[in-house]
C-alpha cells in the first residue's frame, strides 16, 4: 500500500481543519493508500507542541525547509493568504502536489503565476473551496446535471456573516487590503462565485457595488485571525464590508445575483444559495448544511411543494461513509470529503476539481467585480 506524505503549512483555523481531515480520512474512508502527517510547519513556537498533539512526525518553523524534503508528496498551504503564491510556486517547482486554501492569491498576477507553475510541473493542484464537498451541494450538482431543475433562470447566492456589526471589533487582518486582498467580496464571495461556477457555469460579466459601513476601527496589537485584540490607535478599513454583484453567465440566459456581507446581523454563517429552473428549484443554507430544499414542478399539482431533503445515508454523495441519515456531519467533515478526493487524485496522478485554474477563474470574477465597484459599469470577466 502506498503512503501519501503530507506537509501542512499553517497551524491556525485552517491548519487545524486540514489536520482533522488527514487524520479522519482513514477512519471514514477505505483508501488504497495511507496518508502520513509528516510535517507541520508554522513560524511560531507552539508549532512543536501542536505537531506533537496532532500526530505529525515533526515540526519545522520555516516553510522553505519543507519544500525540498524528498519524500513529501503533498504540500498543503494553510498559511496567511499573502504567502500562498510564493509557497505554492516553490512547491510546484519542486515537483510537489499542492493544495492551497482559498483565496488562491492576493492578486491576479500571483494567481496566474501559480497556475503556470502547477501546469508546467504537471503536479496535482487543488484550491480549498470545501463547500463543493458539502454532500447537499454535491447532490444539488447531481440534480442539476440530471436535468431535474431544467433550464436555469435564476441563481442567487447571498452569504451573510455578522461579526463586523460591532463597531468595537478591531482592525483585523481581514479588514486590510494588503493582507486580505478583498473584504467580504473575496473572503465570502470566493465561496459563492465558486459555487456559481460549479453549479451553473462560467461567468461572463459582472456589475458590482460595495460598501464599507465603518471606515475606521481600532488597530489590533496582536493579529490572530478573528481573535485579534483592539489597541488604542485608529486605522482605516480599506476593503469592503459588503459587496453586491449582478452576474451574467456565459451562453445562458440566467439572472445571477451574488451578495456578501459581514453586517448580516444574526446570520453567523448563512451562505444561502437559491436556484430556480424551468422544472424545479433548490435552496441551500450553509447553517443547515445537511439539508437541501428541492421543489419539482413535475410533481402533480396538489403535491407540489418545497421538500426538505435530509442529505445523509446511502443515497447521497459522500454520506454513505458517515453516520446514517439523520445523524448529521459537521463543517469539519467537509474537509475530510475534500481530502478524500484530493488524495485519490494524487494516488492516481489525476486532476481534481477545483484546481488552481478554478481558483484563478474565480479570482478573475472577483477582480472584475472589484473593478466594476469603481467604474460602476458592467465589466467583462477574463477567462483562463
Asked whether position 303 contacts its own copies by CB under 8 A, the answer is yes
Asked whether position 374 contacts its own copies by CB under 8 A, the answer is no
When the beta carbons of 226 and 234 are compared against its own copies, the nearer one is: 226
Pick from 48, 173, 213, 384 the residue near its own copies by CB under 8 A: 213
Asked whether position 211 contacts its own copies by CB under 8 A, the answer is yes
Pick from 315, 351, 380, 383 the residue near its own copies by CB under 8 A: 315
- Judged by CB under 8 A, the stretch of 70-78, 88-96, 266-274, 360-368 that binds its own copies is 266-274
Pick from 278, 348, 349, 380 the residue near its own copies by CB under 8 A: 278
Asked whether position 216 contacts its own copies by CB under 8 A, the answer is no
> Are 77 and 100 in contact, with CB atoms under 8 Å apart?
yes
Cell numbers representing residue 380 in the block? 467583462
Quickly tell me which residue has 501559480 as its cell: 114
Window 42-71: contact mask with its own copies (x via CB under 8 A): -----------xxx----------------
Pick from 57, 120, 145, 327 the residue near its own copies by CB under 8 A: 327
In the range 93-112, which residues lie near its own copies by CB under 8 A?
A: none
- Judged by CB under 8 A, the stretch of 61-69, 85-93, 315-323, 339-347 that binds its own copies is 315-323
Asked whether position 244 contacts its own copies by CB under 8 A, the answer is yes
Nearest to 256 by CA among 325, 184, 153: 153
Quickly tell me which residue has 431535474 as its cell: 148
Task: Provide CB contacts within 8 A for 53, sequence distance 6+.
Answer: none
Size of the site for its own copies (CB under 8 A): 90
> Are 149 and 281 in contact, with CB atoms under 8 Å apart?
yes
Asked whether position 264 contacts its own copies by CB under 8 A, the answer is yes
Phi then psi dihedrals of residue 156, to 5 deg: -125, 125
DSSP SS3 for 2: strand
> Are 182 and 240 in contact, with CB atoms under 8 Å apart?
yes
**Secondary structure letter of residue 228 according to DSSP:** P
Asked whether position 308 contacts its own copies by CB under 8 A, the answer is yes
- Judged by CB under 8 A, the stretch of 97-105, 178-186, 228-236, 306-314 that binds its own copies is 306-314
Dist CA 184 CA 191 (whole Å): 10
Asked whether position 195 contacts its own copies by CB under 8 A, the answer is no
When the beta carbons of 122 and 327 are compared against its own copies, the nearer one is: 327
Nearest to 129 by CA among 77, 192, 202: 192
* Cα torsion angle, 312, 318, 321, 322, sign: negative
Chain center to CA of 165: 23
Asked whether position 377 contacts its own copies by CB under 8 A, the answer is yes
- Judged by CB under 8 A, the stretch of 75-83, 105-113, 187-195, 263-271 that binds its own copies is 263-271
Q: What per-residue string of b and e applies to 76-93 under the rule 16 or more CB within 10 Å gives b?
A: bbbbbbebbbbbbbbbbe
- Judged by CB under 8 A, the stretch of 56-64, 216-224, 250-258, 348-356 that binds its own copies is 250-258
- Give, in order, the Cα–Cα distances in Å from 305 to each of 145, 163, 193, 297: 21, 34, 28, 8
> Are 54 and 6 in contact, with CB atoms under 8 Å apart?
no
Pick from 112, 194, 204, 259 the residue near its own copies by CB under 8 A: 259
Pick from 322, 340, 356, 364 the residue near its own copies by CB under 8 A: 322
Amino acid at each position: 500500500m502506498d503512503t501519501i506524505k503530507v506537509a501542512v503549512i499553517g497551524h491556525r483555523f485552517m491548519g487545524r481543519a486540514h489536520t482533522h481531515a488527514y487524520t479522519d480520512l482513514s477512519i471514514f474512508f477505505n483508501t488504497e493508500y495511507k496518508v502520513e502527517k509528516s510535517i507541520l510547519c508554522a513560524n511560531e513556537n507552539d508549532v512543536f507542541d501542536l505537531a506533537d498533539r496532532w500526530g505529525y512526525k515533526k515540526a519545522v518553523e520555516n516553510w522553505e525547509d519543507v519544500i525540498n524534503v524528498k519524500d513529501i508528496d503533498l504540500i498543503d498551504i494553510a498559511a496567511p493568504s499573502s504567502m500562498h503564491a510564493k509557497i505554492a510556486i516553490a512547491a510546484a517547482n519542486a515537483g510537489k502536489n499542492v493544495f492551497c486554501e482559498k483565496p488562491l492569491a492576493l492578486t491576479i498576477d500571483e494567481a496566474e503565476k501559480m497556475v503556470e507553475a502547477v501546469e508546467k510541473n504537471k503536479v496535482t493542484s487543488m484550491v480549498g473551496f470545501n463547500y463543493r464537498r458539502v454532500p447537499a451541494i454535491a447532490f444539488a450538482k447531481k440534480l442539476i446535471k440530471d436535468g431535474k431543475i431544467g433550464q436555469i433562470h435564476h441563481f442567487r447566492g447571498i452569504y451573510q456573516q455578522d461579526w463586523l456589526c460591532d463597531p468595537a471589533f478591531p482592525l483585523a487582518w481581514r479588514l486590510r487590503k494588503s493582507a486580505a486582498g478583498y473584504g467580504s467580496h473575496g473572503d465570502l464571495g470566493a465561496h459563492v462565485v465558486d459555487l456559481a461556477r460549479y453549479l451553473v457555469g462560467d461567468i461572463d460579466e459582472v456589475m458590482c457595488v460595495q460598501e464599507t459601513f465603518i471606515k475606521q476601527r481600532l488597530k489590533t496589537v496582536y493579529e490572530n485571525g478573528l481573535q485579534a485584540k483592539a489597541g488604542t490607535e485608529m486605522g482605516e478599513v480599506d476593503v469592503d464590508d459588503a459587496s453586491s454583484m449582478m452576474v451574467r453567465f456565459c451562453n445562458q440566459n440566467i439572472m445571477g445575483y451574488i451578495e456578501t456581507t459581514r453586517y448580516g446581523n444574526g446570520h453567523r454563517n448563512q451562505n444561502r444559495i437559491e436556484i430556480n429552473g424551468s422544472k424545479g428549484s433548490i435552496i441551500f443554507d450553509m447553517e443547515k448544511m445537511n439539508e437541501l430544499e428541492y421543489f419539482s414542478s413535475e410533481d402533480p399539482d396538489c403535491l407540489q411543494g418545497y421538500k426538505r431533503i435530509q442529505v445523509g445515508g446511502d443515497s447521497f454523495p459522500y454520506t454513505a461513509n458517515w453516520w446514517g441519515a439523520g445523524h448529521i456531519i459537521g463543517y469539519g467533515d467537509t474537509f475530510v470529503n475534500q481530502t478524500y478526493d484530493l488524495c485519490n487524485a494524487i494516488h492516481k496522478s489525476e486532476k481534481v476539481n477545483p484546481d488552481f485554474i478554478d481558483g484563478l477563474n474565480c479570482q478573475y470574477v472577483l477582480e472584475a467585480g472589484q473593478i466594476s465597484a469603481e467604474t460602476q459599469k458592467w465589466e467583462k470577466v477574463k477567462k483562463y
